[in-house]
Amino acid sequence: MATDPTLDPHALDAIDPLGWARAEFVGAASPLVYFDGNSLGRPLAVSAQKAARFITDGWGGRLIRGWDEEWFEQPLVLGDRLGSLTLGAAAGQTAIGDSTTVWLYKLLRAAADHQQRVDPTRTEIVLDTDNFPTDRYVAEGIAAERGLTLRWITADPATGVTLDQVAEALSDRTAVVLLSHVAYRSAWLLDAPAITDLVHRAGALMLLDLCHSVGAVDVQLDAWGVDLAVGCSYKYLNGGPGSPAFGYVAARHHAELLQPIHGWMGHAEPFTMGAGYRPADGMRRFLSGTPPITAMIPLADTLDLIEKVGIGAIRAKSVALTEYAVQLADTTLADLGVRLASPRVAGERGGHVTLTHPRMRQVVADLWTADVIPDFRHPDGLRVGLSPLSTSFVEVATGMQAIAARLR
């Protein structure tokens, strides 16, 4: 391998314009191979100091005054930063808080209810069989609760939902379409602008799940005309286990959409504490309860880093990493019976690569004991998650060699 200069990981690291960023993360000096930054990103070293300082100075020093001074607006202030740095979203349309699951429930129900009010014959939610379980379960729950029908697209698990499949599923009964921008299993990158256009021409609303794309691929929600979006912050945004998710609602929909969890933090006058719920104007109406301020600290640190390097450079690094992993899979794993279960064309692929082999369950278990950490996806998939800011080419080469060694 070292004789082929295009596959020499040291050479690739040496010319990587983002190579320096890896050292910003906890564990960068360790030989551990981390292929799961798309499930739980590594922490930034600076987050340890920021969190400690928040506890002593922010929380410990400002005490309850912190709510007036900063924290009450923090879900919207940090949301705007996340929106402008990673989502192509103008200010006032993104908020942080809750989990992705709760955001899905709030936004999908708000959208479906609105569509039903305007036209009671719009009774269908379009979604696909290969979406992440929580997305499917939430949609099933809302359908049962509101008497709606789910129209399922059967997605190819090695690629994903196509424009033709969406066209076929749409009708004048469609209320909302819920799809993941990057498929969690195959990394298939949806043609989001074209699909959104199609959805709008059918009179439906587009809700995009960005969990596997935010922080790894370029997202342009405003330019694409997407109506609603959700995503988590603990994957490529390194927010930490259970860090709060975000919701995006295009400004044109704020006045007409009402989400179902009527909490005081989404009230027009939360501190009047009066009778009856009256939703705030703008993005605040999509908040419900007290926001998780402490849990937003690491996310803010990742946004600082993204601001420094730009999402364009991050996507370029992500493509280089997945191209490299695919090359190594072709040259070192294909002969061992490993198949690529992700798109071959970089433009159709997000930030990870899935490899299948009948023995992958045992391979992943063995690798974990040797400090090589990919994840396993039932029934035979090994996911190589390549977080662009924290992963080196040497790490990719080491991990791929370790996989090959267990299949020989």
Ligand X SMILES: *Cc1c(COP(=O)(O)O)cnc(C)c1O
**Cα torsion through 104, 109, 114, 118, rounded to 10:** 120
Q: Tell me: does residue 135 bind ligand X (CB under 6 A).
A: yes
- Rounded CA-CA distance 116/112 in Å is 6
* Among 84, 116, 134, 162, interactor with ligand X by CB under 6 A: 134
* Among 93, 115, 174, 180, interactor with ligand X by CB under 6 A: 180
Q: Tell me: does residue 352 bind ligand X (CB under 6 A).
A: no
Q: Tell me: does residue 212 bind ligand X (CB under 6 A).
A: yes
| # residues contacting ligand X (CB under 6 A) | 13
Q: Of 195-203, 204-212, 220-228, 345-353, which part binds ligand X (CB under 6 A)?
A: 204-212
Q: Which residues are catalytic?
A: 132, 209, 234-235, 383
How many other CB atoms are there within 10 angstroms of residue 184's CB atom? 23
Q: Tell me: does residue 101 bind ligand X (CB under 6 A).
A: yes
Our CB check for ligand X shows the closer of 211 and 319 to be 211
Q: Show the tokens assigned to 340.
A: 């690529």
Q: Report yes or no: 126 and 153 within 8 Å, Cβ to Cβ.
A: yes
Q: Tell me: does residue 184 bind ligand X (CB under 6 A).
A: yes
Dihedral sign, CA of 173, 179, 181, 183?
A: negative
- Rounded CA-CA distance 228/238 in Å is 23
Q: Tell me: does residue 292 bind ligand X (CB under 6 A).
A: no
Q: Tell me: does residue 209 bind ligand X (CB under 6 A).
A: yes
| Alpha carbon distance, N-terminus to C-terminus of the chain | 17
- The least CB distance from residue 153 to ligand X, in Å, is 15
Q: Tell me: does residue 157 bind ligand X (CB under 6 A).
A: no
Q: Tell me: does residue 99 bind ligand X (CB under 6 A).
A: yes
- Rounded CA-CA distance 349/329 in Å is 16
- Rounded CA-CA distance 96/77 in Å is 9
Residue with tokens 């969990």: 211
* Among 232, 237, 321, 353, interactor with ligand X by CB under 6 A: 232
Binding site for ligand X (CB under 6 A): 99-101, 132, 134-135, 180, 184, 209, 211-212, 232, 245
